[in-house]
Chains A and B, each alone.
Chain A
Amino acid sequence: MGKMTYLEASCQALADEMKRDELVWAVGEDLGRGGVFGQYKGLAEQFGTDRIADAPISESCIMGAAVGAAMMGSRPVVEMRFADFALCATDELINQAAKARYMFGGQARVPLVVRHPIGMWRSSAAQHSQSLEAWYAHIPGLVVVCPATPADNFGLLKSAIRCDDPVVYMEHKDLWPLEGEVPNESDAVVPLGKARVVRSGNDATLVTWSGMVHVAARAATALADLGIDLEVIDLRTIWPWDKACVLASVERTSRLIVVHEAVAVGGFGAEIAATIASRLHYSLAAPIVRLGAPRVPISYAPPLEDALRVTDTQIVEAVKRLVRK
């Protein structure tokens, strides 16, 4: 399909899936005019306003209605605008969508995708910048996806829409304009639960996802100049995460660093670190390193916001300490 932005890739994936399956529809605020970031551009014209449905500013009802519609067999794609606003629909996602299949003993299926745009986006401040993937990974019943590239935003969104369970689909707002190669449709579906090795290396394993994949890749290039060969793994799906891929890599490198934009405390990096420590403790050559945001709400002024970001320089320094022999 050639070069596409991360945003265009998601728009194309949704259009493809809506053509493929007439049960797929999208609902959220401002979708009729293309969505707040333009990720639904042209879809209302193509599919009509029943299937690209504008909604009132009623997050509870957007999410709850999607649960009811999904239980009736349709496949809603829910737009939450900002992951932060999705917190207004916490009951509907966590108590209803995630649990309906289980608590009704398998009578219900809830095949919906809820799109939560995450991450720092210059000076959006505390209520428009959060990365809350760890919260949802904690909830049984949910699949959690964090695409980092245009190809993955195409292939993973397709897989998410075809998934018969609720998927929390977290796109990074800073990545919307990112360009990249998107393969042809036939082979472009990316399976859920499979990580991607961004760069192979032998000295240490770095596990990350979402926007931080690109920061880590820059750090890996800088480290290569210093003679340090870093393997970078993009987890892509946070739940279920690709343990096999990470375990195999760390078995080989004996060193692990986990990096995410979200607050380090209670972040999903802690889960990965704990799993690797319990499985590979005696083959680790150094203590596991975690990098994430300090436990501070995201700030507004650019220098203050930047103080809360994990940078490629921090990663380089952390990896240098990690591999010091």
Chain B
Amino acid sequence: MSVANVENLSPDELFRWREFHRAMLRIRLFEDAAVRALKEKLVPGPVHPSTGQEAVAVGVCANLHKSDILLSTHRGHGHTLAKGADILPMMLELFGKQGGYCRGKGGSMHIADFSVGMLGANGVVAANIVIAVGAAHAIKLRKSREIVTCFFGEGAINRGPFLEGLNWARVFGLPVLFVCEDNSYSASTRTQAMTAGEGASARAASMDIPTAEVDGNDVVAVDQAAARWLDEIRAGKGPRFLHARTYRLTGHTAADAAPYRPQSELDEGLLREPIRRLAARLTNAGVTSEELVAVAENVGAEVEEAYANAKLAPYPNVSVAFEDVQDIGDPRLEAF
């Protein structure tokens, strides 16, 4: 791995890299805790960890403002944390407890924090693309300055809303950053075997949307690529497309041991994983290993505290199941 010139980091750059390191660790340790909670039967529903993909979430979201909008996928914990959500209400939501972001009604697949512009993870692949485009359309109609970022996996490029949404964003010149988080797998099938042509970037380029490819396990590269595209989007130049190649270190869900992939592939993935890579570069930039360990302990303590609190927290009152349906009409069975 090239570490040339890292000694020449400016203080601002070094600060930014340290923040990347902390943010990625926060996601990694959150995901580890979520998987552990699932195994301990504290999380009742499915969890799709983003372990190994942290650099994409962190590198992109480092360039977003709180008022910017983000739409995520079923593998959305990292995006949500990187956009500024708090660990405790996320953990509470995964546990299905009172105080969760979605009042215990969404779980991992529908995690959302509208207060930081994170308009939801989504259980349907590619469904968030057309919603993101609509959010951008509303921004354009009201002539305000926010931008919309939409994450999706490379499996999503084989669904119709990918075509419809990208075409729409281009036709209406909308402020959207499309981020294809390419982890090579569509659930448990290799995407390449199921995809004709050259894939994500080629399809976006065919709709005249400028595209860039980036090493999605290099948070610095993701940061730079996202910054460039976001500058152009904020300048009113329309949608941009970022294809980030990364690697999913877990199975499709936490319950999936991923027997379909060779050990050699996983070994290579572990060598390329983003946190270790950034830590090596930070070390070359003069950051001590003691500091890196201290950051991990610090973030770990925050996650463990949320875990313990979520474990103790009560479930929502059953009446909550009947709320947030719609304003008119009684949803209770006994109403009929």
Contact = CB atoms under 8 A, between A and B. Distances in A.
- In order of increasing CB-CB distance, the 7 nearest A-B pairs are A64-B130, A68-B134, A240-B329, A65-B134, A105-B102, A105-B103, A61-B164
Given A64-B127, A68-B131, A108-B112, A143 B168 contact: no
A179 interface: no
A122 interface: no
B44 interface: no
B106 interface: yes
B84 interface: no
Interface of A: 25, 50-51, 55-56, 58, 60-61, 63-74, 76, 91-92, 95-96, 100-108, 140-143, 163-165, 192-193, 239-240, 243, 275, 278
Given A64-B127, A64-B161, A107-B112, A101 B324 contact: yes
A50 B141 CA distance: 7
Contact of B130 (A50, A65, A102, A165): A65
19 contacts: A58-B164, A65-B134, A65-B165, A67-B131, A68-B138, A71-B134, A72-B139, A91-B127, A102-B105, A103-B102, A103-B110, A104-B106, A105-B104, A107-B112, A107-B114, A108-B112, A108-B120, A143-B326, A163-B328
Nearest to A279: B336
Contacts of A240: 328-330
Contacts of A66: 134
A96 B167 contact: no
Given A95-B127, A193-B329, A105 B105 contact: yes
Given A61-B165, A101-B324, A92 B102 contact: no
Given A96-B122, A105-B100, 5 more contacts: A61-B161, A64-B131, A96-B124, A105-B104, A106-B323
Interface string B118-150: 011011100101111111111101100000000
A199 B104 CA distance: 48
B326 A60 contact: no
B210 interface: no
Contact of B112 (A55, A104, A163): A104
B325 interface: yes
A165 B167 contact: no
Contact of A72 (B69, B323, B328): B69
A141 B331 CA distance: 9
Interface in B166-190: 167-168, 171
Contact of B105 (A56, A67, A73, A103): A103
B329 A58 contact: no
Given A96-B131, A103-B105, A108 B167 contact: no
A165 B325 CA distance: 9
A100 B110 CA distance: 9
A76 B137 CA distance: 11
A269 to B, nearest CB: 15
Contacts of A56: 164, 167-168, 171
Given A105-B103, A240-B330, A58 B134 contact: no
Nearest to A72: B138
A276 to B, nearest CB: 11
B326 A101 contact: yes
A106 B112 CA distance: 11
A242 to B, nearest CB: 11
A193 B327 CA distance: 11
A74 B138 contact: yes
A104 B167 contact: no
A71 B110 contact: no
Pick from B135, B137, B165 the residue with the most CB of A within 10 Å.
B137
A180 to B, nearest CB: 26
Contacts of A101: 324-326
A73 B69 CA distance: 13
Given A101-B326, A105-B101, A106-B324, A69 B119 contact: no
A213 to B, nearest CB: 22
Contact of B327 (A70, A102, A140, A164): A164
Contacts of A72: 69, 134-135, 138-139
Interface string B303-336: 0000000000000000000011111111100001
A141 to B, nearest CB: 6
B160 interface: yes
Nearest to A88: B160
B126 to A, nearest CB: 9
A74 B141 contact: yes
B155 to A, nearest CB: 16
B133 A61 contact: yes
Contacts of A61: 130, 133, 161, 164-165, 167-168
Contact of A69 (B113, B141, B165): B141
B114 A104 contact: yes
B137 A65 contact: yes
A89 B303 CA distance: 40
Nearest to B136: A68
A192 B329 CA distance: 10
Contacts of A105: 100-106, 112, 324
Contacts of B325: 101-102, 140-141
Nearest to A191: B328
A141 B71 CA distance: 21
B130 A192 contact: no
A239 B329 contact: yes
Contact of A102 (B137, B324, B330): B324
Interface string B282-314: 000000000000000000000000000000000
Interface string B62-105: 00000001010000000000000000000000000000111111
A164 B323 CA distance: 15
A31 to B, nearest CB: 14
Contacts of A50: 141
Contacts of B137: 65, 68-69
Given A68-B132, A95-B124, A60 B161 contact: yes
